[in-house]
């Protein structure tokens, strides 16, 4: 179930429970006018989320990949969405226009947080978040290169509003090494919240009635408290708060299947295990859940 951009009908195809989507559409507030404040072409605030196209480095080294990202600063009580938005929503999208020879990777999604509201839940972001993207420049560059992106997102609080911004960032070329830019700390935080590979982290699942049980085998030293975020949208009910049972050394995460979930769990599917240690930073690890 998700809300999709009215200007992007392709996102609406194949969505489950269309009646709920239509009901959510009725809650959408009218688009607000853009802020009157002067902003550089790399930044905009058309509504409740300020966005900026930023680079980790102040220049481009020919042929050397580098990180850029969409930095999103949310007003209090407003949020945007992860790749699986939960009960309703749509993930942020980035469409790039770059000089010949450049190539952009996909969004490297930081792990989300559960945003529970009554019986419904969304998976997304609040506060200050950076969505990093790896850019691959060609081996030969001009004096400077301009990267442009069409950013689209859905910002929600009591209502949901689709937003869009055209952002550009011009970076000089440096044949040796580029100095770090003004947003280095944001990229360091973003990389710490990205999903990591974890040897020894295993997950097997079984269906018991309407429930999906996932048995987790963690690697030694990994925190045994946390939350599992299933990446495919139509497997478990987002609004049902899952349980985590740690008994006799067995860690079992349980949630409720969606009406179509039983058909969707054949084989294996990706998920993200986000640790919640008693003290220290949370970490996210990729895990493939296999039905046994």
Q: Are 235 and 166 in the same domain?
A: no
Domain contains 103:
yes
pLDDT one-digit tens code per residue, 128-137: 999 999 999 9
- Taking the model in full, what pTM does it have? 0.84
Q: Are 203 and 117 in the same domain?
A: no
Q: Are 155 and 246 in the same domain?
A: no
The domain boundary residue, chosen from 146, 165, 193:
193
Domain contains 1:
no
Tell me the C-alpha distance between 117 and 48, whole Å. 19
Domain contains 162:
yes
The domain boundary residue, chosen from 175, 193, 211:
193
pLDDT one-digit tens code per residue, 50-87: 999 999 999 999 999 999 999 999 999 999 999 999 99
Total domains in the fold of the chain:
2
Residue 26 class from Cβ within 10 Å (0-12 exposed, 13-18 middle, 19+ buried)? exposed
Element (H, E) at 21: helix 18-25
Q: Are 131 and 187 in the same domain?
A: yes
Q: Are 201 and 255 in the same domain?
A: yes
| 3-class DSSP state of 73 | strand
pLDDT of 152 > 60? The answer is yes
> With contact defined as beta carbons under 8 Å apart, do 168 and 112 qualify?
no
Q: Are 67 and 149 in the same domain?
A: yes
- 145 lies in which domain range? 9-193
The per-residue pLDDT for 37 is 52
């Amino acid at each position: 179930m998700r809300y999709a951009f009215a200007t992007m009908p392709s996102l609406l195809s194949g969505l489950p429970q269309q009646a709920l989507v239509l009901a959510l559409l009725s809650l959408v507030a009218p688009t607000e006018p853009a802020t009157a404040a002067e902003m550089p072409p790399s930044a905009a605030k058309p509504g409740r989320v300020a966005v900026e196209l930023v680079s980790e480095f102040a220049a481009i080294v020919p042929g050397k990949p580098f990180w850029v990202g969409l930095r999103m600063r949310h007003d209090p009580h407003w949020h945007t969405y992860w790749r699986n938005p939960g009960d309703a929503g749509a993930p942020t999208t980035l469409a790039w226009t770059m000089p010949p020879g450049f190539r952009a990777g996909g969004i490297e999604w930081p792990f989300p947080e559960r945003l529970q509201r009554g019986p419904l839940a969304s998976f997304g972001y609040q506060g200050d978040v950076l969505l990093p993207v790896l850019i691959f420049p060609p081996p030969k560059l001009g004096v400077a290169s301009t990267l442009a992106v069409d950013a689209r997102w859905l910002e929600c609080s009591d209502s949901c509003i689709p937003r869009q911004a055209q952002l550009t960032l011009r970076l000089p070329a440096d044949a040796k090494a580029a100095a770090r830019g003004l947003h280095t700390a944001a990229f360091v935080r973003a990389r710490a919240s990205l999903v990591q590979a974890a040897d020894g982290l295993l997950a097997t699942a079984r269906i018991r009635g309407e429930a999906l049980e996932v048995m987790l085998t963690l690697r030694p030293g990994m925190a045994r408290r946390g939350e599992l975020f299933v990446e495919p949208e139509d497997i478990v009910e987002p609004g049902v708060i899952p349980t985590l049972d740690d008994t006799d050394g067995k860690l079992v995460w349980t949630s409720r299947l969606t009406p179509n979930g039983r058909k969707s769990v054949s084989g294996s599917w990706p998920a993200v295990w986000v640790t919640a240690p008693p003290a220290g930073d949370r970490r996210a690890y990729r895990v493939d859940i296999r039905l046994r």
